[in-house]
Amino acid sequence: MSWILGPVRTAAAQLRIRLLGGLVIHVDACDQIGQRTEPCLLVKGLWVENTTGENAHLRGFRVELSLPVHASTENVELRTHERPVVVHLPMNIPAWGSSERFDAVVKFQATYPPGTSSFQGRIAALGRGGFRLRWTPLSGTYQWSEE
């Protein structure tokens, strides 16, 4: 009878990992940088947590803005936290482990409206196929005058 339950347990564990597990992002702060016509976000103190019981392959990030404009990108440059040293992806995150802290520069191809307002968006880690995206909210304010 155990020869039947073994594959069922394995399939159930894989399904649980695919539905509930994944790469979760934690962020300390997010600021608007760049120019109004070439906006960028500076995400400070970013680290990725692996909530699965197996190694995870971090290959990048997807960032989406919902306010003040709709834009999305995978154009993210990682740097060592509070240092200008570029970090190269992909990287392995061990089971139930986490990455070190990073700062990320996120570049968008969009134009912000002039003035002072708030921005809202979200960020997710991209892993290997099959893991669902786990989004972390980003928000803050920006101020640009008419050019």
Assigned domain for 2 exists:
no
Assigned domain for 1 exists:
no
Assigned domain for 14 exists:
no
Q: Which of 61, 81, 80, 77 is nearest to 121 (CA)?
A: 61
Assigned domain for 102 exists:
yes
Assigned domain for 15 exists:
no
Residue 18: what pLDDT? 54
The predicted model scores a pTM of: 0.80
Give the chain's domain count: 1
Assigned domain for 11 exists:
no
* Residue numbers of the domain that contains 129: 22-144
For residue 147, pLDDT over 80 is answered with no
Assigned domain for 16 exists:
no
Residue 9: what pLDDT? 56
Of the listed ranges 11-15, 95-99, 126-130, 138-142, the one predicted with least confidence? 11-15
For residue 33, name the pLDDT band (cuts at 50, 70, 90).
confident
Q: pLDDT of 92-111, one tens digit each?
A: 999 899 999 999 999 988 88
User: What is the share, in percent, of the chain residues with pLDDT greater than 90?
Assistant: 34
Q: Which of 77, 81, 63 is nearest to 126 (CA)?
A: 63
CATH code of the domain containing 114: 2.60.40
